[in-house]
Amino acid sequence: MRIATYNVNGVNGRLPVLLRWLALARPDVVCLQELKAPQDKFPEAALREAGYEAIWHGQSRWNGVAILSRSGTLHETRRGLPGDPLDEQSRYIEAAVGGVLVAGLYLPNGNPRPGPKFDFKLRWFERLHAHLAELVALDAPVVIAGDFNVMPTDRDVYVPERWRDDALFAPEVKAAYARLLEQGWTDALRHMHPDETIYTFWKYWRGAFERDAGLRIDHILLNPAAAARLVDADVDRRPRGWEKTSDHAPVWVELAPAARKTRSARRAKSAS
C-alpha cells in the first residue's frame, strides 16, 4: 500500500500536474495540502475520473487539506485538530482506509517570528502532540502525512545558517517536532535514508530546484504498527521539474500488506 503526501499549492491551478502525477505514480492514498480552494470548488469530478475518491476540508484562498484513495473507501474519522474551538483554519483531516488510519496535516508556517503567527504555530504543535498521543499506541497502523513546515535538523536545510531565526527552523519548532518523535513515531523518510541529503521543497526563484537548494519540510510519521510494515519511502522529484508545478514534491511510503492472521492468532484474539 503506497501512501503519499503532496503540497500542491493550489489544487485547481495544479490540477493538470496533479492528474499527471497520479497517473504516473498511482499511489493508493494521497494527502493533499494547500488546496487554496473553498469547499465547493474542489475538483472532485476530475479526481473521480482519474480513479480517486476524496474527502476534503476546503477554505477560501488559504490552507485546505484532502485525502484521496483509489483502492479503498475513505471512512472519515476527524476534520480539524481538536483543542481550540476558535481555530477555523482547514489544516487537519483524518480517515481510515484499507485498515490504516491516515491523517493529512498542514502545519502553520509561523513566520514572522516572533509574533502571533509564530505563537499560533507553537500552540498548533501542542494540540497535535496531545492528539497524536492518542493515536501512536493504536494496534492499527497509523500514518501522519503532510507539510509540517519544519526542517528537523541541519541536514534538512541547504544552508542552515540562513534559516536559524526562521519559523521553520527555530529551536522551539525543532524541539516540538522532536517531542512528537519521542512519542514513538518513526520519520519514515529519514529512517529509510539515514545519511542522505533529502529535500521536499525548493523555492521557485533563483533556480533553486536546479541547484538543489531545498528544504525537507514534508514528512510522513509512522506509529510502531505502521513502522513494522515499512518497505520503502522516498521523494518523487519528477513533478517538481514540470511546468506550472508546485514548489513541493510528493513524498511517499510503501507499507507491506498486513500479515495474514493465523488460525491460532484469530483463536487467541476471539478468546481474549
Residues labelled as active-site residues: 106, 147
Applying CB under 7 A, does 128 fall inside the site for DNA? no
Applying CB under 7 A, does 36 fall inside the site for DNA? yes
What is the total count of residues that contact DNA (CB under 7 A)? 31
Cα–chain-centroid distance for residue 130? 18
Instruction: Give the shortest CB-201-to-DNA separation in angstroms.
Output: 5
Q: Contact 212/237 with Cβ under 8 angstroms?
A: no
Applying CB under 7 A, does 9 fall inside the site for DNA? yes
* Residue from the set 1, 22, 31, 37 that interacts with DNA by CB under 7 A: 37
How far is 172 from 179, CA to CA, in rounded Å?
A: 10
Which H/E stretch holds residue 32? strand 29-33
Please provide residue 260's backbone torsions phi and psi, each rounded to the nearest 5 degrees.
Answer: -70, 130
Binding piece for DNA, criterion CB under 7 A, among 6-14, 43-51, 73-81, 185-193: 6-14
DSSP SS3 for 110? coil
Applying CB under 7 A, does 90 fall inside the site for DNA? no
Applying CB under 7 A, does 77 fall inside the site for DNA? no
* Residue from the set 201, 223, 230, 255 that interacts with DNA by CB under 7 A: 201
Residue 37 or residue 74: which is nearer to DNA going by CB?
Answer: 37
Query: According to DSSP H, which parts of the chain are helical?
Result: 15-25, 44-49, 116-135, 171-182, 188-192, 208-211, 224-227, 263-271
Q: Is 256 exposed, middle or buried, given 0-12, 13-18 or 19+ CB atoms closer than 10 A?
A: exposed
Applying CB under 7 A, does 215 fall inside the site for DNA? yes
Which cell is 176 given?
A: 516540538
Applying CB under 7 A, does 20 fall inside the site for DNA? no
CA distances to 117, 227, 245 from 256, in Å: 39, 10, 31
Instruction: Give the shortest CB-1-to-DNA separation in angstroms.
Output: 26
How far is 97 from 244, CA to CA, in rounded Å?
A: 31
Q: Contact 213/203 with Cβ under 8 angstroms?
A: yes
Binding piece for DNA, criterion CB under 7 A, among 48-56, 58-66, 77-85, 125-133: 58-66
Q: What is the DSSP string of 207-271?
A: THHHHT-EE--EEEEE-HHHHTTEEEEEE--GGGGSTT--SB--EEEEEPPPPPPPHHHHHHHHH
Residue 18 or residue 132: which is nearer to DNA going by CB?
Answer: 18
Residue 67 or residue 167: which is nearer to DNA going by CB?
Answer: 167
By DSSP bridging, strand 29-33 and strand 53-57 are: unpaired
Applying CB under 7 A, does 125 fall inside the site for DNA? no
Applying CB under 7 A, does 168 fall inside the site for DNA? yes
Residue 15 or residue 136: which is nearer to DNA going by CB?
Answer: 15
* Residue from the set 26, 48, 49, 62 that interacts with DNA by CB under 7 A: 62
Binding piece for DNA, criterion CB under 7 A, among 9-17, 79-87, 180-188, 251-259: 9-17
Q: Enumerate binding residues for DNA (CB under 7 A).
A: 7, 9-10, 12-14, 34, 36-38, 41, 60-62, 108-109, 111-112, 117, 147, 149, 168, 201, 203-206, 215, 217, 244, 247
